[in-house]
A and B are shown apart, each in its own frame.
Chain A
Amino acid sequence: MSQMITIELNGQKQPLPTGSAVSDLLSIIGSDGKSVAVLVNQQIIRPENRSARILQEGDEVELLIFAGGG
C-alpha cells in the first residue's frame, strides 16, 4: 500500500494516498467537481488546475457548494 498523508478537509482530518491531486480527492469523496469550488490553503483552485495541484501533508482544503439561501 502506498504511503498516506493527512489533509484537513472542511475542518476534518482526511487521509489520502501520497501524491494525490485535488482531482483525486474529488473522486475519492464522490464529487464530479462541477458544482464545487475548491480552495487549498485559502487559494482558489480552478477546474483546469485541479489535476496538477498535488496535495501535501497538512494542506487545508475547503470544498464549497451553492445551497439554499436568501
Chain B
Amino acid sequence: MDLLQLGSYTFSSRLIIGTGKFSSATVMLQAVRASGAQLVTVALRRFNREQAEDDLFGPLSAIEGVTLMPNTSGASTAAEAVRAAHIARELSGSPFIKVEIHPNPQHLMPDPIETFEAARILAKEGFLVMPYITADPVLAKRLEEVGCAAVMPLGSAIGSGQGLATAAMIELIIRESSIPVIVDAGLRSPSEAAHAMEMGCEAVLVNSAVAVAGNPPEMAEAFAEAVAAGRKAFRAGLMQKSGSAIATSPLTAFLGANG
C-alpha cells in the first residue's frame, strides 16, 4: 500500500487539512471528515469562556483516525516556537509540530533562521518537526540534516490563493530531498494540488482554499480526489515533454497516398 511516512507514523491520506478561517466549527468538522485527512493542523490560543466553540480538541479528537498537528503560529522567534511546541505537545499528546515562524504580518513569509533554530532544537527533543519554509532547496536540505520529519515549502503566500508560484524551486527541493516534501500554503484549486503531487510532493496542506470555498465539505472532497489522482499519476510515471509533435497515429501508408 502507498502510505505517507512521517517518522514512525504512516498515513493513507496525503491531504493535510488546516482548521482556520472556517465560518463555524460545524462546517470545519464536516470539511475535515469529507477530506479524509488524517493529519489536521490546529493553533494555540488563549482560552475564552465566552467562546467555548473555539475549543477544537474534543471535536477533532473524536474523528476517527485523526492525528493533530499543532502549529507554532504567533511565534516570532525560535524560543517562542519551542515554548509553543512544548505547550502544544502537553495538550495534543502528538509528537507532530508544524514550526511556523512568520514575524511580518504583511506577507507572513517564514523566518528561515529562526525556523531552522527551532527545528533543530525540537527535532533533538524528539518532536516530529514539520517546518513551514520558503521554497529554498538549501534550507530544506539543512532542515533534513537536523532531523526534520518533512519539509513544507510554500506554494505562495499564506491565504493568497496564488497557487504553485514556487513550482520550479519545489522541484529542486524534491530532487534533493530524502524526507517528504509537502506543499503548504497558497493553493487555491484542486488542480494545483494534483500538480504538486504529480511533481513528487508526498502530500499537500490546504486550509484557506477549503475554508472559504462556497461549499467547504465539497471542496475538501475535491482536494482529496485531486491529491489521490496526482499521486497516482506520479507513481504511474508521466511522459517526457517534447519540443515538437510526436504522432500518435501512423502517418504513412494512408489510402494509397504513396501511390
Contacts and interface: CB of A to CB of B under 8 A. Distances in A.
Contacts of A39: 87
Interface string A26-49: 000111001111010000101000
Nearest to B22: A68
B43 A67 contact: yes
Interface residues of B, number: 38
B42 A64 contact: no
B67 interface: no
Interface residues of A, number: 21
Interface string B205-244: 1011000000000000000000000000000000000000
Interface in B28-45: 28, 41-45
A31 B47 CA distance: 9
B46 A63 contact: yes
Interface in A42-70: 44, 46, 62-70
B91 interface: yes
Interface stretch (B13-21, B120-128, B165-173, B246-254): B13-21
Interface in B72-92: 73, 86-88, 90-92
B43 A44 contact: no
Given A44-B87, A64-B44, A65-B54, A70 B49 contact: no
A35 B58 contact: yes
A10 interface: yes
A64 B55 contact: no
B96 to A, nearest CB: 13
12 contacts: A37-B87, A46-B90, A64-B44, A64-B45, A64-B46, A64-B91, A66-B45, A66-B91, A68-B19, A69-B18, A70-B21, A70-B71
Interface of B: 18-22, 25, 28, 41-49, 54-58, 60, 68, 70-71, 73, 86-88, 90-92, 158-159, 185, 205, 207-208
Given A31-B47, A66-B68, A68-B56, 16 more contacts: A34-B58, A35-B58, A37-B87, A37-B88, A46-B90, A64-B91, A65-B55, A66-B45, A66-B57, A67-B54, A68-B25, A68-B43, A69-B73, A70-B19, A70-B20, A70-B73
